[in-house]
Structure 1
Amino acid sequence: MEFSLSGAIRCMHSEHEALLSFKGGFRSGLDRFSSWKAEEDCCKWIGVGCDNVTGHVIILDLHGQDPFNMLPGEISPSFPSMLHLPYLRYLDLSQTNFNYNPIPDFIGSLQYIEYLNLSNANFRGTIPSNLGNLSHLEYSDLSGNRFSLSAKNLKWVYGLSFLKVLDLSGVDLNSAEDWLDAINMLSSLVELRLFYCKLHKIPQYLHPVNFTSLKILDLSDNNFGSAIPDSLILQGHIPDTFGNMTSLTSLDLSKNNLGRSYTINFRPFSKESQLNKSSSLRELYLSNNQLCGSLEHSLVQLSQLVVLDVAGNNLEGNITEVHLKNFSSLRVLDLSSNQLVLNVSSNWIPPFQLETIGLRYCLLGPKFPQWLRPQKNYSFIDISYASIVDVVPDWFWNLSSKVKQMDLSFNELKGNVPDFSSQLQLSLLDLRHNYFWSPLPRFSSSLRILALATKSFFGPISHLCELFSANNSLSYLDVSSNNLSGEIPDCWKYGQNLIIFNLANNNLSGQIPNSIGQLVHLYTLRLDNNSLSGEVTLSLKNCIALRVLGLAYNRLFGNALAWMGDNLQNLVILELRSNTFSGRIPLQMCQLKFLKLLDLASNNLSGTIPRCVFFGMASIEFEDTLSLIYYPYTTYIEEIPKEVMSLVGLRILNLSRNHLVGPIPPNIGGMGNLESLDLSRNHLSCTMPPSMVDLNFLGTLDVSHNNLSGKILRGKQLDTFEDSSYMENPQLCGFPLSKICSSDELIEDPHCSNENGDGENQGIQKEGHDGFKIPSFYLSRGLGFIAGFWGLWGSLILNRSWRHTYFHFLGNMTDKIYAIVVVGAAKLQRKFQRQQTPPK
Structure 2
Amino acid sequence: MELVLGGDIRCIESEQAALLKFEGGFISPSNHFVSWTAEDDCCKWRGVGCDNLTGHVISLDLHSSNTYDNLHGELSPSLLDLPYLSYLDLSLNDFRQNCVPEFLGYLSNLEYLNLSHASFRGTLPDSLGNISGLQYLDLSGNGFFLRVNNLDWLSGLTSLKVLDLSGVDLSNTNNWLDAINRLTSLVELKLVACQLHKLPSSLSHVNFTSLKVLDLSYNSFNSEIPQWLFDIGHSLVYLNLSRNQLQGAIPNAIGKMITLISLDLFHNNLTGPIPTMWGLDQEEGDKNLGHSSLRELRFSCNRLNGSLEKGLAQLSDLVVLDIASNSVEGVITEVHLQNFSKLRVLDLSSNHITLNVSSNRIPAFKLDVIGLRSCKVGVTFPKWLRTQKNFSSIDISRTNISGIVPDWFWDSSLEIKKVSMSNNNLTGKVPDLSERHALSTLDLSYKAFRGPLPHFPSNMRTIYLAGNLFSGPISSFCDIMTENNVLSYLDLSQNNLSGPLPNCWTHGRSLIVLNFGTNRLSGTIPDSIGHLTHLRTLILEDNILHGELPSLRKCTDLAVMDLSRNSLFGDIPSWIRENLINLMLFILRKNQFGGSIPLQLCQLQLILGLDLSMNNISGKIPRCIDNFLTMAGVEDVHFYIYNPYARHNEKHLVHLISEKSKLIQSYIESERVRLISHYREIDLSQNQLSGVIPEEIGSLIKLKFLNISGNHLTGTMPNTISALRELVALDLSRNQLSCSIPTGMADLYSLAVFDLSYNNLSGKIPAGKQLETFDSSSYIGNSNLCGFPLEKKCLRRESYEYQNCLDGKEKKKVLKVKTEMGLENLHST
Query: Is this a same-fold pair by TM over 0.5?
Result: yes
1:674 maps to: 727
By percentage of residues, which structure has more helix?
Answer: 1
Residue 532 of structure 2 is aligned to residue 480 of structure 1? no
1:692-771 pair list within 5 angstroms: 692-709=745-762, 711-727=764-780, 729-730=782-783, 732=785, 734-737=787-790, 739=791, 741=793, 743=795, 746-751=798-803, 753-754=805-806
Match of 1:381 among 377, 394, 404: 394
Match of 2:129 among 104, 127, 132: 132
Secondary structure of the corresponding residue to residue 205 of structure 1:
coil
Residue 151 of structure 2 is aligned to residue 99 of structure 1? no
Higher relative contact order (CA 8 A, sep 6+): 1
1:608-656 Cα offsets, whole Å, 9 max, x none, are: 5432144325421449714224264345445433332332112222233
Secondary structure of the corresponding residue to residue 297 of structure 1:
coil
Residue 549 of structure 2 is aligned to residue 524 of structure 1? no
1:651 maps to: 704
Decide whether the 8 Å contact of 1:499 with 1:523 is kept in 2: yes
Secondary structure of the corresponding residue to residue 373 of structure 1:
helix
2:266 maps to: 254
2:162 maps to: 165
Decide whether the 8 Å contact of 1:70 with 1:95 is kept in 2: no
1:824-835 pair list within 5 angstroms: none
Aligned length: 744
1:483-494 pair list within 5 angstroms: 483-494=496-507
1:360-379 pair list within 5 angstroms: 360-364=373-377, 366-379=379-392
Separation (CA, whole Å) in 1 of partners of 2:490 and 2:33: 38
Separation (CA, whole Å) in 1 of partners of 2:777 and 2:33: 77
2:660 maps to: none
Would the alpha carbon gap of residues 418 and 115 (structure 1) be closer, same or farther in structure 2, given more than 3 Å must change? farther
2:819 maps to: none
Separation (CA, whole Å) in 1 of partners of 2:143 and 2:514: 28
Separation (CA, whole Å) in 2 of partners of 1:392 and 1:176: 56
Amino acid corresponding to residue 115 of structure 1 in structure 2 = Y
Identity of aligned pairs, percent? 52
Separation (CA, whole Å) in 2 of partners of 1:254 and 1:506: 39
1:241-390 pair list within 5 angstroms: 246-255=258-267, 257-259=268-270, 262-267=271-276, 269-272=278-281, 278-364=291-377, 366-390=379-403
Would the alpha carbon gap of residues 678 and 232 (structure 1) be closer, same or farther in structure 2, given more than 3 Å must change? farther
Separation (CA, whole Å) in 2 of partners of 1:516 and 1:373: 41
1:143 is displaced (CA, Å) by 1.9
Decide whether the 8 Å contact of 2:617 with 2:689 is kept in 1: no
1:814-825 pair list within 5 angstroms: none
Amino acid corresponding to residue 24 of structure 1 in structure 2 = G
Would the alpha carbon gap of residues 347 and 754 (structure 1) be closer, same or farther in structure 2, given more than 3 Å must change? farther
Separation (CA, whole Å) in 1 of partners of 2:808 and 2:542: 41
1:54-95 Cα offsets, whole Å, 9 max, x none, are: 44444433333336x57252225xx22333333334333222
1:488-507 pair list within 5 angstroms: 488-507=501-520
| More displaced 10-residue stretch of structure 1: 400-409 or 677-686 | 677-686
1:447 maps to: 460
1:384-434 Cα offsets, whole Å, 9 max, x none, are: 333333322222212534333333333333221123322333333322222
1:146-190 Cα offsets, whole Å, 9 max, x none, are: 222223333333344444433222222223233333333444433
Decide whether the 8 Å contact of 2:689 with 2:711 is kept in 1: yes
Separation (CA, whole Å) in 2 of partners of 1:686 and 1:584: 27
Structure 2: unaligned runs, 5 residues or longer: 1-5, 231-247, 638-676, 812-829
Amino acid corresponding to residue 518 of structure 2 in structure 1 = N
Match of 2:213 among 186, 194, 216: 216
Match of 2:583 among 571, 577, 583: 571
Separation (CA, whole Å) in 1 of partners of 2:112 and 2:761: 79
1:498-526 Cα offsets, whole Å, 9 max, x none, are: 23233333333344333333322322333
Separation (CA, whole Å) in 2 of partners of 1:345 and 1:725: 61
Amino acid corresponding to residue 749 of structure 1 in structure 2 = E
1:196 is displaced (CA, Å) by 1.8
Residue 72 of structure 2 is aligned to residue 73 of structure 1? yes
Would the alpha carbon gap of residues 462 and 81 (structure 1) be closer, same or farther in structure 2, given more than 3 Å must change? farther
Separation (CA, whole Å) in 2 of partners of 1:347 and 1:8: 72
Decide whether the 8 Å contact of 1:201 with 1:228 is kept in 2: no
Would the alpha carbon gap of residues 218 and 453 (structure 1) be closer, same or farther in structure 2, given more than 3 Å must change? same
Highest Rg: 1 or 2? 2
1:430-487 Cα offsets, whole Å, 9 max, x none, are: 2222221132222223223333333343333333233333333333333333333333
Separation (CA, whole Å) in 1 of partners of 2:36 and 2:567: 60
2:153 maps to: 156
Q: TM-score, normalised by structure 2?
A: 0.80
Separation (CA, whole Å) in 1 of partners of 2:712 and 2:596: 20
Secondary structure of the corresponding residue to residue 19 of structure 2:
helix
Separation (CA, whole Å) in 1 of partners of 2:53 and 2:533: 54
By percentage of residues, which structure has more strand?
Answer: 2
Q: TM-score, normalised by structure 1?
A: 0.79
Amino acid corresponding to residue 642 of structure 1 in structure 2 = E
1:565-606 Cα offsets, whole Å, 9 max, x none, are: 333333333333444445454443343333333334455554
Separation (CA, whole Å) in 2 of partners of 1:487 and 1:270: 63
Would the alpha carbon gap of residues 410 and 54 (structure 1) be closer, same or farther in structure 2, given more than 3 Å must change? farther
Amino acid corresponding to residue 462 of structure 2 in structure 1 = I
1:35 is displaced (CA, Å) by 4.2
Separation (CA, whole Å) in 1 of partners of 2:792 and 2:45: 97
Amino acid corresponding to residue 126 of structure 2 in structure 1 = S
1:744 is displaced (CA, Å) by 7.4
1:220-235 pair list within 5 angstroms: 220-229=217-226
Would the alpha carbon gap of residues 639 and 456 (structure 1) be closer, same or farther in structure 2, given more than 3 Å must change? same
Separation (CA, whole Å) in 2 of partners of 1:359 and 1:31: 50
Amino acid corresponding to residue 653 of structure 1 in structure 2 = L
Separation (CA, whole Å) in 1 of partners of 2:263 and 2:558: 41
Would the alpha carbon gap of residues 212 and 514 (structure 1) be closer, same or farther in structure 2, given more than 3 Å must change? same
Match of 1:536 among 519, 541, 549: 549
1:800-826 Cα offsets, whole Å, 9 max, x none, are: xxxxxxxxxxxxxxxxxxxxxxxxxxx
Secondary structure of the corresponding residue to residue 226 of structure 1:
coil
| More displaced 10-residue stretch of structure 1: 341-350 or 425-434 | 341-350
1:206 is displaced (CA, Å) by 1.0
Separation (CA, whole Å) in 1 of partners of 2:71 and 2:804: 68
Would the alpha carbon gap of residues 613 and 668 (structure 1) be closer, same or farther in structure 2, given more than 3 Å must change? closer
2:681 maps to: 628
1:773-788 pair list within 5 angstroms: none
1:738-778 Cα offsets, whole Å, 9 max, x none, are: x252637954432565279999xxxxxxxxxxxxxxxxxxx
Decide whether the 8 Å contact of 2:392 with 2:415 is kept in 1: yes
Secondary structure of the corresponding residue to residue 292 of structure 2:
coil
Decide whether the 8 Å contact of 1:461 with 1:488 is kept in 2: yes
